[in-house]
Amino acid sequence: MFRIALAQMNATVGDLEGNAEKILRFAEEARKEGADLVAFPELALTGYPPEDLLLKPSFIEGNLRVLRELVPKLKGIISVVGFVDKDADIYNAAAIVADGKMVGVYHKVYLPNYGVFDEYRYFKPGSEYPIFASDDLTFGVNICEDIWYPGGPTYFQSLKGDADLIVNISSSPYHMGKGHHRERMLSTRALDNIVIVAFVNMVGGQDELVFDGHSLVFDERGEKLAEGAWFEEELLVVDLPVGEVFRTRLHDPRRRRVNLEEGEVPRISVPKFRRSPKPPISPPKREPPGPEEEVYRALVLGTRDYVRKNGFSKVVVGLSGGIDSSLTAVIAADALGPENVVGVAMPSQYSSEASMKDAEEVAKNLGIKFLTLPIRDIFDAYLRTLSEVFEGTEPDVTEENIQARIRGNLLMALSNKFGWLVLTTGNKSEVSVGYCTLYGDMAGGFGVLKDVPKTLVYRLAEYRNRVGERPVIPRSVLEKPPSAELRPGQKDTDTLPPYEVLDPIIEAYIEYDRSPKEMMRMGMEEEVVRKVVGMVDRNEYKRRQAPPGVKITPRAFGRDWRLPITNRFRE
């Protein structure tokens, strides 16, 4: 029996010494658990993705220096550590360390360059598929994207190199449903290649990205042996029945018919560690999270890490009494603790008494500090100052936006004075069509709901009310028609289609690149489709100036979306 430990750790980009200390702590824990091998995520030493830090020679040299200092400390166990390697170029690499000595290095072969990934900007691809052999096990190591290819390194390492085990180290970002897709892919790789697959994934938040952990082990029949926790650091320890791999291969003649002339598979010896017999262990049983739980936990983790990794301790949220600001405050309180969240109501003459009551009740239910800063006098002062210039014009969206910008100024003043990070409250539906105000409700440091469609906002609020000790978002917030309350009787539907109509159009256009004609063939109304698509196209200039926010859909604004601002193409 071979025991493996998968260390799904939360690395911080650029914190070379801090990440190395965390690697060492996990390695020591794995050794105490009797593990023969411990694997760490892709680029665990540097954090992922390091982006243009990789263009700094001092950063590359720093990561190599810290690795050299770390290697002798990794005693009594085989360790697989993600780092940046260098010769004439640089590589996304894995160091294979045995009993404090470097025995080999693997260079990532398939470099993703789509969606949020741009690894060809930085790395040279590897060209070899080494395997590592001790007396009781032969294993291959590859990195993230490598295992997504049916004919990739796993194919050569298991079939030509006769590896019993493939260790894939990953930093695979989260979006809704991706974890289940990953499971199917890894199961298929294990079954097709008759090999045990151990996948270790990063966990934590990095700017817009969240890594969900959920490390996985599949046996040679494609059956799941173990899975790690979602959205939490963990050392997952698993006993692998490596003897069954050879037995299963004897009954499968496919391996004898495969042409494996291509692909180098160097064989590297790894010393065997003499260990006393260890009692078998049973990995924990996991219940997969439901869709709302999955997204909610991603938002909490992404918010917590963005705030803490950037040196903030407290946040401030404008509480309007609406659903978006209420949910943002709840997520912030869950992420940071209620003592680190401040809610601010900023009523104008158009704010309803009911909304102010709802805002105060949310703050009370959460136990967060609550401030009230009325803006009516400030708004009147603006109007007086502009009265001569605006003479002869009718009130319109200009006056509405002035109110939003006053509120943004007040929140930023609190941020400057007390060091609180401003959390914006806009959702993906609003950001998509520009139903938001530059330097107003878009002013802030982090957009918690930036990638969350409005219809999902309601589902998340209902979910959080169900799972808490008691509901924290009042029913009145969930049931009243959405309104910015910037003019008398205003409703979101005065400007936008109902959100249950709007969100499918946004999903089709943004996430699937469907044209208006395709959407109409799907049964969507032409006039509404063309209005929404036009609004999306016209408002790229706003989105470019929005703060980062947690990515939870397959295609989020930011790294995923690169529409030109200056653009005359219309579908």
* Spatial separation of the C-alpha atoms in residues 107 and 127, rounded to whole Å: 8
Number of Cβ atoms within 10 Å of the Cβ of 356: 18
Pair type for strands 216-218 and 196-201 = antiparallel
Kindly list the distances between the CA atom of residue 181 and the CA atoms of 44, 174, 188, 441, 456, in Å, as whole numbers in the listed order.
23, 11, 11, 36, 21
Q: How far out from the chain centre does Cα 509 lie?
A: 22
Strands 2-8 and 209-212: unpaired
The H helix count followed by the E strand count for the chain is: 17, 20
Burial of residue 262 (CB within 10 Å: 0-12, 13-18, 19+) is: exposed
Task: Report the run of H or E that residue 87 belongs to, with start and end.
Answer: none
Q: What pLDDT was estimated at residue 263?
A: 56
- Which ranges of the chain have pLDDT less than 70? 258-264, 273-276, 485
Strands, sheet with 165-170, edge to edge from the N-terminal-most edge strand: 224-227, 216-218, 196-201, 165-170, 138-143, 131-133, 267-269
Residues noted as catalytic: 42, 108, 144
Classify the C-alpha dihedral 18-143-303-555 as positive or negative: positive
Helix (H/G/I), strand (E/B), else coil: 164: coil
CA-closest candidate to residue 295, choices 426, 448, 172: 448
Let me know: does 123 contact 113? Beta carbons within 8 Å: no
Which value, to the nearest 10 degrees, does the dihedral of the CA atoms of residues 485, 491, 492, 498 take? 160
Q: For the domain covering 2-269, report its CATH number.
A: 3.60.110.10
Sheet-wide strand order for 315-318 = 369-372, 341-345, 315-318, 421-424, 446-447
Provide the CATH topology of domain 291-492. Rossmann fold (3.40.50)
| Residues carrying CATH 3.40.50.620, the chain | 291-492
Triad 27, 32, 35: Cα angle to 5°: 70
Q: What are phi and psi of 20, to 5 degrees?
A: -65, -40
Amino acid identity at 209: L
pLDDT at site 261:
60
* pLDDT given at position 284: 82
Structure confidence at residue 568 (pLDDT):
84
Q: What is the DSSP letter of 565?
A: S
Could you give the residue range(s) of every CATH 3.60.110.10 domain in the chain? 2-269
